[in-house]
Structure 1
Amino acid sequence: MDPLVWLAKIGLVILCVAGTSACGAREARVDYAAWSVNDPRQGAYRIGVSDVIRVTVWKDPSLSTDTTVRPDGKITVPLIGELEAGGRTAAEVQEQLVRRLAAFVKDAIVTVAVVEVNSYRFTVAGNVERPGMFTPRYYVTVSEAIALAGGPNRFGSTDETVVIRPRLGAPPVRIPIDYDRILTGERPEADIVIRPGDTVLVP
């Protein structure tokens, strides 16, 4: 055999093995369980910026109001003034209101409800049919987010799909997503829930 041909074949084998190892290492590095901790679909909804909150005080319409959560996470309520709402559940905000109102209204019966969910926003970018920002009224997974964007277009490299997740006080983190194997059912754990502020990128 021509030595050059033999060397070329050996080189191809090395590249294939290296590529397989790299793919295996890439999969091993992605701990999807870690990205599914504190699944927002479990438990009560956490109020966010731009959500609209309805405060109802029984038999006192002057204290009842619809109020929007400001960028600082606070709402304004008649008589009480400012109240922290961001990151809390409706029940937790209700407890705060009852305590604060106790100084003004005896045995106030208060209910708090989220009437508009506007804080759950994420972006789907890259080679999808309808890239853009989405604000569904419920939490979605990676595959559902891509479906909302019309799915990958014919140029999309779905095997390179990533979720870019912002982090407070740190650079965003890139989470490789095994999208093709989500669709085949081989890696359902890779279909992580999209969080507010995430960007799903299909290169």
Structure 2
Amino acid sequence: MHTILRIAFSTLPALLLAACAHRVALAPEAPMPPQGDYLIGAGDVVNINVWRNPEVSVSVPVRPDGKITTPLVEDLQAAGKTSTQLARDVEKALEKYIQQPMATVIVTSFVGPYDQQIRVIGQAAKPQALAYRQGMSLMDVLIAVGGVTDFAAGNKANIIRTVNGTRQSLPVRLQDLLRDGDISANVAVLPGDVLVIPESWF
């Protein structure tokens, strides 16, 4: 009898650890968003300043095709580049007209690349696509879309995320976060995430 109890107690910690590991694997993870410079996207507005050349210093929108047009420069690709990369491209394009141009680019209105936007569909108060911001969380997304409707099944919502070409569905607890203030439900979001909020049927 003592031998049986000794074996049972010796294996208990291992069983508990296995059970905990299984629960953690099933829970939605909250990975930190990748660090990096902001990439310009279609719909952004960029302010281009060319030193000592105010006639070619302008503020222009990035067209839906991802390009910009400025004085002396037509159809310059902007989407998918950092502001520094775009500044170097502007300088290169202006070299045929201006001796040693020095340009700076500042993004003044943000939308971001299409594939990095956060999309919210279903029973959000204002379903929409949002520009991703570094460090963005589920709570930030919900604030931006005005919360959820009265018909939302908040705790049955999911984040659809593509990782290494594989689509994953991560359950999230919107009701716990919004109504109960459970901060543990406030997971991080990543560029390209799609938040799906289903309707409650009862």
Measured against the shorter chain, the TM-score band is: 0.5 to 0.7
Equivalent position of 1:184 in the other structure: 182
Question: Which ranges in structure 2 are unaligned for 5 or more consecutive residues?
Answer: 1-18
Equivalent position of 1:3 in the other structure: none
Equivalent position of 1:51 in the other structure: 44
Contact 1:117 1:137 (C-alpha < 8 Å) held by counterparts: no
Match of 2:159 among 150, 160, 163: 163
1:51 alignment partner AA: D
Contact 1:142 1:194 (C-alpha < 8 Å) held by counterparts: no
SS in structure 2 opposite 1:97? helix
Deviates more, 1:108-117 or 1:142-151: 142-151
Contact 2:159 2:196 (C-alpha < 8 Å) held by counterparts: yes
Contact 2:173 2:185 (C-alpha < 8 Å) held by counterparts: yes
Q: What are the within-5 Å matches in structure 2 for residues 36-47 of structure 1? A: 36=32, 38=34, 42-47=35-40
1:28 alignment partner AA: A
Equivalent position of 2:6 in the other structure: none
Match of 2:143 among 114, 136, 147: 147
- When the two structures are aligned, how many residues end up with a matched partner? 172
Match of 2:123 among 120, 127, 135: 127
- Could you tell me how far apart the structure 1 residues matched to 2:99 and 2:143 are? 51
Contact 1:46 1:86 (C-alpha < 8 Å) held by counterparts: yes
**Which structure has more RCO (C-alpha within 8 Å, separation ≥ 6)?**
2
- Could you tell me how far apart the structure 2 residues matched to 1:200 and 1:30 are? 16
* Structure 2 residue 82 is matched with structure 1 residue 89: yes
1:129-168 Cα deviation digits (max 9, x unpaired): x13225469453222212333334454333222123579x
- Could you tell me how far apart the structure 2 residues matched to 1:61 and 1:43 are? 31
Q: CA deviation at 1:115?
A: 1.4
- Could you tell me how far apart the structure 1 residues matched to 2:64 and 2:131 are? 20
When normalised by structure 2's length, the TM-score is: 0.65
- Could you tell me how far apart the structure 2 residues matched to 1:154 and 1:76 are? 46
Q: 1:134 to 1:68 in 2, by over 3 A?
A: same
Q: CA deviation at 1:82?
A: 2.2
Contact 2:28 2:170 (C-alpha < 8 Å) held by counterparts: no
Q: CA deviation at 1:47?
A: 0.5
* Structure 2 residue 63 is matched with structure 1 residue 66: no
Equivalent position of 1:10 in the other structure: none
- Could you tell me how far apart the structure 2 residues matched to 1:50 and 1:146 are? 22
* TM-align CA RMSD: 3.5
- Could you tell me how far apart the structure 1 residues matched to 2:36 and 2:120 are? 26
Q: CA deviation at 1:48?
A: 0.6
SS in structure 1 opposite 2:107? strand
Deviates more, 1:79-88 or 1:171-180: 171-180
